[in-house]
Amino acid sequence: MDRSSTREDTGKYVKWPGGTTAAWRHHPKASSAQGPKHIFPFFSLPLSHPSVRANLPSINNLAMEMESASHEKAGLLTRLWTCLKPLPGKLVSKVAEVARKIKKLGQDDPRRVIHSLKVGLALTLISLFYYSRALYKGFGDSAMWAVMTVVVVLEFSVGATLGKGLNRGLATLLAGALGVGVHHLASLSGGIGEPMLLGFFVFLQVAGYRDREILELAHKRISTILIGGATCVIITIVVCPVWAGEDLQNLVALNLEKIGNYLEGFGGEYFRTSEDEECKDDKSFLQGYISVLNSKGSEESLENFARWEPGHGRFRFRHPWKQYLKIGTLTRQCAYRIEALNGYLNSGFQAPTEIRSKIKDVCTMMSLESGMALNELALAVKKMTRPTSADPHIEKSETAAKTLKTLLKSGIWEDTDFLEVIKVATVASLLIDVTNCTQKIAESVHELASIAHFKSVDPTVSPEKSQLSQVKLAAKVDCPQVSITVRESSPSSKESGNSLAPTAVPRVVL
């Protein structure tokens, strides 16, 4: 076998396969001109041969270097492939995540998706100033101000768009008139006074223009800004309008509903005993009051935008938007008291069951009736009807509050630990405050219905329920000498006009 046909030329060394050892050695007489034929390798030599033993360290080092280089190259490619391999999957997951967010946004509030389409439509129409030769020839580079006006003025609601558009239009007119007036005044002051006035008023941008050029520039800019603002207003009103007044009305009604739902479920949650079955229903209504506490900024912004809006639908031109803020303020005051009640509800140190049971019935009734009254008020605000259906619940809650006051003043706490009584008495006091807040909210809603001319609806209560008779609230107390009888108002008292005035007087017999 010819070894020259199987050798591998590596440049400086020549590797000869087939031997028991893989040895390389450069012949001392070899030169680069003579080529690889003067390079004599050691092959088929045992490891104990002196030549092999002498060159073994260099052979091992060379082999290690070659192996290390191959490993580095393979490691670099492996790391590169490891980085590039998950990129398509990450890109697909990112696109899917963005699509899910857009879908969720469209499901939560489709108006936001429509608003983005409205912005695109407005920018497309304004871009005709650049793509239409006739329009661009008339306005030139000033058409950019129309595009900037669309970006600045177009807002989510009609009221916000009208407010910003009017502010930008008036500011543009005032600034243009001021700039032209100052330039005219500077030109009349002569060659010495003109640069001084221009430098003092800092209108250096128009200093290099002539009188005719200044007027033409001001005309173009004001025209393009007015065109951009008018485009925004028309698109906002015509294409799926979003009214801030309706959002304010829905927000106030929703806050009332959240407070009402909490009060309806508070009695059952606070006075539940260990013998009662644990309710597995959704208890998210117990956290609804938190959003009411932080609604002041939203209500004020919506009220400010609603004042700019023209009359639309059921809302007249001078609708009493301030009254909604008043109702919202009273609702937050009620929410603050509910926050204190929630602290006692979630407290780890509850009053004993036998103490809470003494005021369980009257507190549960007071909380339930107040919650039902608030829900009726929320429905009346949302549908813009007179809240006559809330009046019976207000009367019952006031009657229960008076009964609770009388019960607290009785002698049922004589043989009870004073520290344990404080907890129950605090909860009862907070419920009485909530009842008073509910009455104030009802009065404000009645005032809103009177000013805004809400429509009247026929009561849906059956004749049997409308006949008011004597109702006896048997309070579960340990003292048998206490008997509480409540006389409710007669039908004639409701016709007197003061439906909110308390007419039921408790009688206590000791």
* Burial of residue 33 (number of CB atoms within 10 Å: 0-12, 13-18, 19+): exposed
Q: If DSSP codes are grouped into helix, strand and coil, which group holds residue 25?
A: coil
SS3 509: strand
Q: Which residues pair with 14 in a beta bridge?
A: 9
- Alpha carbons 16 and 329: distance in angstroms, whole number: 97
Distance between start and end Cα atoms, the chain = 131
Backbone φ and ψ for 152, nearest 5 degrees, come out as: -85, -40
Of the candidates 353, 346, 362, 343, the one whose C-alpha atom is nearest the C-alpha of residue 273 is 353
CATH hierarchy code of domain 245-465: 1.20.58.220
Q: In the chain, what are the domain boundaries? A: 3-73, 102-238, 245-465
CB atoms within 10 A of CB 36: 15
CA atoms within 13 A on the CB side of 3: 14
Element (H, E) at 9: strand 8-9
Report how far residue 399's alpha carbon sits from residue 426's, in angstroms, rounded to the nearest whole number: 19
Per-residue pLDDT of the chain (510 residues; tens, 9 = 90+): 444 444 444 444 444 444 444 444 444 444 444 444 444 444 445 555 565 555 556 656 666 666 666 666 666 777 777 777 778 888 888 888 888 888 887 788 888 889 889 999 999 998 887 777 777 777 777 788 888 889 989 999 999 999 888 888 888 888 777 777 776 776 776 667 666 666 666 644 544 555 566 677 778 888 888 888 899 999 999 998 999 999 999 999 999 999 999 998 888 887 776 555 555 466 777 888 898 999 999 999 999 999 988 888 888 888 999 999 999 999 999 999 999 888 887 776 666 677 777 788 888 899 999 999 999 999 999 999 998 888 999 999 888 888 888 887 776 666 666 677 787 888 888 999 999 999 999 999 999 999 988 888 765 544 333 333 333 333 333 443 444 444 444 433 433 444 434 444 344 333
Residue located via tokens 């290690």: 64
Amino acid identity, position 70: S
E strand or H helix at 30, and its extent? none
Would you state the structure tokens that stand for residue 414, as one six-digit string? 């004589």
| 9 CB-side CA count, 13 A | 9
